């Protein structure tokens, strides 16, 4: 049986995912908001063969799997639980896939709510960039039942290079938060140190060359440093979303009684950057945030 997909959230990541599902001859319907950016994405996806649904009810009735690619847990909860969301239109036997980076305790609560209705929910957050979404080279870490995962895996394979079934409900979202925290810790450390290196006369190219073959090297450094060297602050992942992820990580640590002082420090840096107005900018703009302080010294 070929699964029919209903997709909600055709933003930077979602549009690329939908494009690759269509390339794999998977039927996709979607919803889009009535704003300029969403309508442009909707027109592009329609050109690839996706069908825009007129309502959540129509999308649910035409789908075996409903996929969400949304910014945060409150948005996911509102969509699934409110009377004007898609939740009331879903029916027994369907599967919900949450690609969003959501809060694991909420994920487990939603899993139980929909399980009672005969609907399975998979948390399947992603790693990768907008470019990797376009290329179908994302990574999926999925939590939830074996049965639902096995049904949806061919769909995951159409948009991802690496697909992992990592455990029960909430496990995927927990691993995503840990991964994003590691990335943000590396990003904050890099952006913090570059103004110092500049003041001391260390060239960015020399720094990049040496660290690339040394113990300080990591994927965040390799992805971010070339952009910082060119002062490319174009938006790939907004700072406010990075802050949200580290905030979720800290909350989860507190709820489990786990001390995470470094994670708390990384969140404090993001809080300060947000207060300084960097929330709508790309995470690479954290360098500009640290440069502000360095210039005042």
Q: What is the pLDDT of residue 36?
A: 77
Q: What is the pLDDT of residue 32?
A: 86
| One domain, residues 191 and 84 | no
| One domain, residues 70 and 186 | no
Q: What is the pLDDT of residue 1?
A: 57
Q: What is the CATH number of the domain that holds 82?
A: 3.40.50.720
| One domain, residues 69 and 44 | yes
Count structural domains, the chain: 2
What CA–CA distance (Å, rounded) separates 249 from 245?
Answer: 6
Q: Mean pLDDT per segment of 10 residues, for the chain of length 297 residues?
A: 90 92 95 81 89 95 97 96 96 98 97 98 95 95 98 97 98 97 98 96 96 97 96 94 97 96 98 97 97 80
Q: What is the pLDDT of residue 11?
A: 87
- Which residue stretches of the chain are H helix? 12-23, 36-48, 56-61, 73-81, 104-115, 130-135, 146-159, 171-199, 204-212, 219-229, 239-255, 261-275, 286-296
| One domain, residues 155 and 198 | no
Q: What is the pLDDT of residue 4?
A: 96
For residues 99 and 73, the answer to whether their CB atoms sit within 8 Å is: no
End-of-domain residue from the set 168, 186, 216: 168
End-of-domain residue from the set 149, 168, 187: 168
| One domain, residues 222 and 288 | yes
Q: What is the pLDDT of residue 33?
A: 82
Instruction: Determine how many CB atoms are found less than 10 A away from the CB of residue 108.
Output: 19
Q: What is the pLDDT of residue 130?
A: 87
**Range(s) of the domain holding residue 178:** 174-296
Q: What is the pLDDT of residue 293?
A: 86
The reported pTM is 0.93
End-of-domain residue from the set 145, 168, 191: 168
Q: What is the CATH number of the domain that holds 285?
A: 1.10.1040.10
């Amino acid at each position: 049986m070929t699964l029919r997909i209903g997709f909600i959230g055709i933003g930077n990541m979602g549009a690329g995912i939908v494009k690759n599902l269509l390339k794999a001859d998977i039927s996709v319907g979607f919803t889009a908001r009535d704003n300029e950016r969403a309508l442009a994405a909707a027109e592009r996806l329609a050109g690839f063969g996706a069908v825009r649904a007129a309502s959540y009810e129509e999308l649910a009735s035409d789908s075996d799997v409903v996929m969400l690619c949304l910014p945060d847990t409150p948005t996911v909860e509102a969509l699934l639980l409110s009377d004007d969301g898609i939740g009331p239109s879903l029916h027994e036997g369907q599967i919900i896939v949450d690609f969003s980076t959501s809060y694991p305790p909420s994920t487990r609560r939603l899993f139980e709510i929909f399980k009672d209705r005969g609907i399975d929910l998979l948390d399947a957050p992603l790693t990768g960039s907008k470019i990797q979404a376009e290329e179908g080279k994302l990574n999926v870490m999925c939590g939830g039942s074996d049965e639902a995962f096995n049904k949806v895996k061919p769909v995951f394979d159409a948009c991802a290079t690496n697909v992992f079934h990592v455990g029960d409900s909430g496990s995927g979202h927990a691993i995503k938060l840990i991964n994003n925290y590691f990335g943000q810790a590396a990003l904050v450390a890099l952006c913090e140190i570059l103004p110092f290196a500049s003041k001391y006369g260390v060239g960015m190219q020399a720094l990049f060359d040496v660290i690339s073959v040394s113990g300080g090297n990591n994927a965040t450094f390799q992805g971010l440093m070339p952009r910082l060297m060119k002062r490319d602050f174009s938006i790939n992942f907004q700072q406010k979303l990075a802050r949200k992820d580290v905030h979720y990580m800290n909350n989860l640590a507190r709820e489990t009684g786990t001390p995470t002082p470094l994670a708390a420090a990384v969140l404090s840096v993001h809080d300060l950057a947000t207060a300084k107005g960097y929330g709508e900018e790309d995470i690479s703009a954290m360098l500009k945030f640290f440069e502000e302080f360095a210039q005042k010294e």
